[in-house]
Amino acid sequence: MPILTEPRDPRLVTIRRGGTLTDTDHRLLAQWAATCAEHVLPVFQHAAPDDDRPRRAIELTHAWIRGEVSIREAHQMAFTANAAARGISDAPKFAALAAGQAVAVAHVAAHELGAAAYAIRAAQALVPEEQRQEAGSAECRWQREQLPDEIRDLVLDDQRLRNHACWFVFDC
């Protein structure tokens, strides 16, 4: 299921690309996405302790926020982190995909929701079926507590608008 929907929300497109998103808010979206991905990163690291690709993706997200790497470098790292998800079970797979989505925010800000959604799916996959709804809701609430005030309304509205494209994980 595609997380990015058309048409793109102009609030999640940078001003230089014809939208209304400021560079400051773009960096805040990337920071929040990285926070979401970092929260579940230990799930991946436990399953694949010798694979540092998702960790490097999150580190590169922080480097992009600081202006130390280009959008192109961050975008390339998204593919690398996503490759780490191949061939492993759901919880660590979703954690790796969260990291890939987080670093992809540098290229397309709307990936912020993908990082959060995959982190929620990782939390859900850790528990038995009958506990998944509550685990997902708890992770969703935790993520919302991490939202900077400057982007809170934007992200919450984005969650409402794209919840259907994100497995309805934002019903918390």
pLDDT digits (tens, 9 = 90+) for 105-152: 999 999 999 999 999 999 999 999 999 999 999 999 999 999 999 999
Q: How many other C-beta atoms can be found within 10 angstroms of the C-beta atom of residue 51? A: 17
Residue at 172 is within a domain: no
Tokens standing for residue 165 = 């494209």
Residue at 2 is within a domain: no
Residue at 66 is within a domain: yes
- Number of separate domains in the chain: 1
- What is the structure's pLDDT at 93? 98
In this structure, which amino acid lies at residue 159? Q
Residue at 1 is within a domain: no
Residue at 5 is within a domain: no
Residue at 171 is within a domain: no
Q: Which domain holds residue 132?
A: 10-166
Q: How many other C-beta atoms can be found within 10 angstroms of the C-beta atom of residue 109? A: 28
Q: Is the pLDDT of residue 1 over 70?
A: no
Dihedral angle of Cα 129, 168, 151, 54, to the nearest 10 degrees: 50
Q: Is the pLDDT of residue 2 over 80?
A: no
Residues 6 or more apart in contact with residue 151 via CB below 8 angstroms: 25, 28, 29, 32
Residue at 135 is within a domain: yes
Residues 6 or more apart in contact with residue 8 via CB below 8 angstroms: 19, 110
Average pLDDT, the chain: 97
In this structure, which amino acid lies at residue 156? L
Backbone angles phi, psi at 21, to 5 degrees: -75, 125
- What is the structure's pLDDT at 38? 98
Tokens standing for residue 78 = 């998204």
DSSP secondary structure code for residue 2 in this structure: -
Q: What is the pLDDT of residues 60-109, one digit of tens each?
A: 999 999 999 999 999 999 999 999 999 999 999 999 999 999 999 999 99
Residue at 39 is within a domain: yes
